[in-house]
Structure 1
């Protein structure tokens, strides 16, 4: 029995392709749900689509749709508090950070009488004009001021009115709780700075919130943060939470392509091989996979791993690491 259940189909590559007659497994196109293309996260073997979660909106819009690049959805600029992270970071590209002033305790009254506060609406509209599919807010109390709850609520309301989900970088004491209670749609990192209690994790899962994994960067840099994140993700997954594969590629050195360390860490958090693939083929931030299909599929040489591979994350990672994006028309079902 295959470890990937009904997700994979046995196929043979066309005799007209670059590896005629090679057999293997066809999977849906794979997505990395957290990259930064301006930080050198360009095309990667095996990845058909990416979600950029912080860039100069004009620059990332110009890259979307470029020949030879994966299909792309993006957030545009980081929306953060005045003086907040990552505005003071040398790695943040020019134009990639939009600072917002607090709209004050009378925000609710202002919204009733004058609609949403102008600067908040303007920041969201700016990302939308460039073609953003998601709005990203930054809540990093470990590195400076953060958006107050009234301003965060205003951003969420403006994004929802535009039909866009809201994704949050939550780092530091209480930041994941703030994001969960405010109702953001996605956490762009599995919470890694504190252990969340089961009630809060259950609330996030019940609300339909998704968490993007980004575990490998912690495995690489900070074992304690990795353990916290894996523990939080394991309980989120057990609570029925939606997990999205994402690597934060562009953030330091990571494997070029599918990041095996991310897959291994996901399986350490309790995901099966099939669940890992589901996290890699989830269409977020769009509601359907139509945006990523574009006549391509994932081809992985050799048969899918058997059910016994569920206990061997390294084997699953090695198998998926050989994946390549190929035109669907080059694959023949066996």
Structure 2
């Protein structure tokens, strides 16, 4: 086995030999809950914020990590994450009317427009039926349609009976978490893959039965050809800031191995193209054993692409 995306290089400033790969992305973070200053040093060049104050996120400096964001969670009064200690009102917007007309108070289009006008690259909705009320079918459809009109994909936190199917039926582009609260059926997996839906991994936030179910569900999804995105839900509990070795090992356990693991890390979603000004550098030659790839990748750092000289 060889990693097709890795190429041998030497760093110009240090003369250190190693391997280069495209920039790594953590596709699920919450920047208001972490200190992001060390992310690049520890291998993450870009992040996707999936729930924060859209106006604060819009004012972030343009350096590393490069940030795309969804803005606020779209939910209903009393629905997740309304009232959580970690979720101030600035990161929650209520959708109480399925209207697709601009400017309607509580309207689906109004909520989408606010995030889009602030610079959001995608829209986040909460379908967490285990934690309270959720968007109605009409409101969910209106959010997805309004986001589509603005050229934005929709990502959903889908948890609780029927919510994964609702997300698929509504045309949600990605799930913020691999389903973990119940096994997914072969029919659900087939429908999600056929719809082109992506699943963000977030396996390391779980323990026990939830972890086992998430890994099993992701294994079925990946085996069917589903699009898997590396994401950690950074800010949720005690997670390492940077490339998370435990997340990579869990992905490997789910059958996302070798080149597929690198693809999950380097997929530019929701951007159209990967970053080209920076690359990932890992000291030493790329491993030839799939079982060693996760640990090797966890030693990554971000460097300017111009600093790397190909040596093969």
Superposition TM-score, scaled by structure 1 size: 0.89
Q: CA deviation at 1:102?
A: 4.5
Q: How many residues are paired up? A: 307
Counterpart position of 2:147: 159
Please point out which of 249, 254, 258 is paired with 2:243.
Answer: 258
- Judging by fraction of residues, say which structure has more helix: 1
Counterpart position of 1:37: 31
Q: Any conservation in 2 of the 1:102–1:147 contact (CA below 8 Å)? A: no
Counterpart position of 2:47: 50
1:234 partnered with 2:231: no
Q: How does 1:136-155 map to 2 (within 5 A)?
A: 136-155=124-143
Distance 1:54 1:41, change over 3 A: farther
1:319 partnered with 2:307: no
- Paired with 2:60 and 2:89, the residues of 1 have a C-alpha distance of 16
Q: CA deviation at 1:182?
A: 1.2
Please point out which of 157, 162, 167 is paired with 1:174.
Answer: 162
Q: Can you list the C-alpha shifts for 1:170-202, whole angstroms capped at 9, x where unaligned? A: 011111111111110000100011111101110
Q: How does 1:4-83 map to 2 (within 5 A)?
A: 4=3, 6-14=4-12, 17=13, 20-43=14-37, 44=39, 45-65=42-62, 67=63, 69-83=64-78
1:87 partnered with 2:75: no
Q: CA deviation at 1:316?
A: 2.1
Where 1:216 maps in the other structure, the secondary structure is: coil
- Paired with 1:102 and 1:83, the residues of 2 have a C-alpha distance of 15
- Paired with 2:168 and 2:52, the residues of 1 have a C-alpha distance of 24
Q: Any conservation in 2 of the 1:29–1:298 contact (CA below 8 Å)? A: yes
Q: Can you list the C-alpha shifts for 1:104-151, whole angstroms capped at 9, x where unaligned? A: xxx7xxx6xx68966111110100111000000000011100001110
Q: Can you list the C-alpha shifts for 1:44-89, whole angstroms capped at 9, x where unaligned? A: 1110000000001111111252x4x300100000000222110110
Distance 1:207 1:116, change over 3 A: farther
Q: CA deviation at 1:253?
A: 0.7
Q: Any conservation in 1 of the 2:193–2:224 contact (CA below 8 Å)? A: yes
- Paired with 1:157 and 1:117, the residues of 2 have a C-alpha distance of 16
Q: Can you list the C-alpha shifts for 1:15-39, whole angstroms capped at 9, x where unaligned? A: xx1xx21101000000000000001
Counterpart position of 1:98: 93
Counterpart position of 1:301: 283
Distance 1:53 1:216, change over 3 A: same
Where in structure 1 are there 5+ consecutive unaligned residues?
none
Distance 1:41 1:78, change over 3 A: farther
Q: Please give the root-mean-square deviation of Cα atoms over the aligned residues, in Å.
A: 1.5
Q: How does 1:146-295 map to 2 (within 5 A)?
A: 146-218=134-206, 222-289=207-274, 292-293=275-276, 295=277
Q: CA deviation at 1:158?
A: 0.2
Where 1:251 maps in the other structure, the secondary structure is: coil
- Paired with 1:115 and 1:239, the residues of 2 have a C-alpha distance of 40
Q: Any conservation in 1 of the 2:102–2:109 contact (CA below 8 Å)? A: no
Superposition TM-score, scaled by structure 2 size: 0.95
Please say which structure displays the higher CA radius of gyration.
Answer: 1
